[in-house]
Amino acid sequence: MKSWSSRSAALMMSVSLIALTACEEPKVDASIYESIGQCKSDPHNTADQCEGSFKEASSQHAAVAPKYSSAEDCQADFGQGKCEKAPYKTSSGGSVFMPLMMGYMMGSMMGGRGSMMSQPLYRSAQSPNSFRTAENQNVGSKTGGTKVARSAASRPSFKNSTRSRGGFGSSARRFGSAAT
């Protein structure tokens, strides 16, 4: 215990005011499409560009999509009927599941082709209107030309480990607050 007057008032006052926000990242230009057709209908693109980027994105899909050891876990994250079997097996020989590719993102034509690789996009069950990268980064709901965080434009990683989720939290749904 110490005398209250010796304690810094500023310290305590500041505590509640510190917001736990992430730093704003610089944004880069990108284009997002649900399908080749939508890409082609955008006058900024040529049919070749659309087909090339779609091919690039879909060829990465199986490697970079998040993996799950059960269809339920995958659907919990991405929604009913929004998952498929991945062309992999778990170490014990079980099936592996991944979300369906729901769109793709390509680099800005303005910024010069090759500045960004095309990559597959997904939609989560929680916010089905937005697109997410395979790294689970939200890139917004807008199709066509848009701006995305620079880190979202980097190449997604290969996901070899299967994931399951939702193994914690059931007691809270039953009992409510954990407070004692």
Partner 1 sequence: MQRISVTERPNLANIAAEHELEHIADQGITGWNESAYYQFTRRQIEEDLTGPVEEIENLCFEVVDRAVNNQEVLSRLGIAEPFWDYIAESWRNGEKNLYGRMDLSYHGEGPVKLLEYNADTPTALYETSVLQWEWLEQATELELIPRGCDQLNDVHESIVNVFPKLDIRTMSHFACNHNIEDDKGTLDYLEECAREAGLKTCSIAMKDIGLDDEGRFIDFDGQVINTLVKLYPWEWIMAEDFGPHIPSSGTQFIEPPWKAILSNKGLLPLLWGMFEGHPNLLPAFFEDDPAAAAFANAGSYVRKPMLSRQGENIKIVHEGKIIFQSDGPYGSDAHILQGFHPLPVLDCGYPLIGCWLVASKAVGLCIREDKTLVTGRDSRCIPHVILD
Determine the Cα–Cα distance for residues 29 and 162; give it in Å rounded to an integer. Answer: 32
Site string for partner 1, 19-58 (x = CB under 8 A): -x--------------------------------------
Phi, psi (degrees; rounded to nearest 5) at 162:
-75, 150
**Residues near 111 by beta carbon (within 8 Å), at least 6 away in sequence:** 28, 29
Shortest Å distance, C-beta 82 to partner 1? 17
Question: Which residues in the 120-179 window bind partner 1 by CB under 8 A?
Answer: 135-136, 159-172, 174-179
Determine the Cα–Cα distance for residues 68 and 48; give it in Å rounded to an integer. Answer: 34
- Which of 15, 26, 43, 129 contacts partner 1 by CB under 8 A? 15
**Residues near 159 by beta carbon (within 8 Å), at least 6 away in sequence:** 63, 64, 65, 66, 67, 134
User: Of 59 and 157, which CB lies nearer to partner 1 in the complex structure?
Assistant: 157
User: Of 43 and 91, which CB lies nearer to partner 1 in the complex structure?
Assistant: 91
Show the tokens assigned to 148.
């995305």
Residue with tokens 């689970």: 136
Question: Letter for the amino acid at 105?
Answer: M
Question: Which residues in the 64-123 window bind partner 1 by CB under 8 A?
Answer: 66, 69, 90-91
Shortest Å distance, C-beta 45 to partner 1? 31
Total number of residues that touch partner 1 (CB under 8 A): 41
Determine the Cα–Cα distance for residues 138 and 171; give it in Å rounded to an integer. Answer: 29
Q: Does 1 bind partner 1 (CB under 8 A)?
A: yes
Shortest Å distance, C-beta 175 to partner 1? 6
Interface with partner 1 (CB under 8 A): 1-4, 7, 9, 11-13, 15-18, 20, 66, 69, 90-91, 135-136, 159-172, 174-180
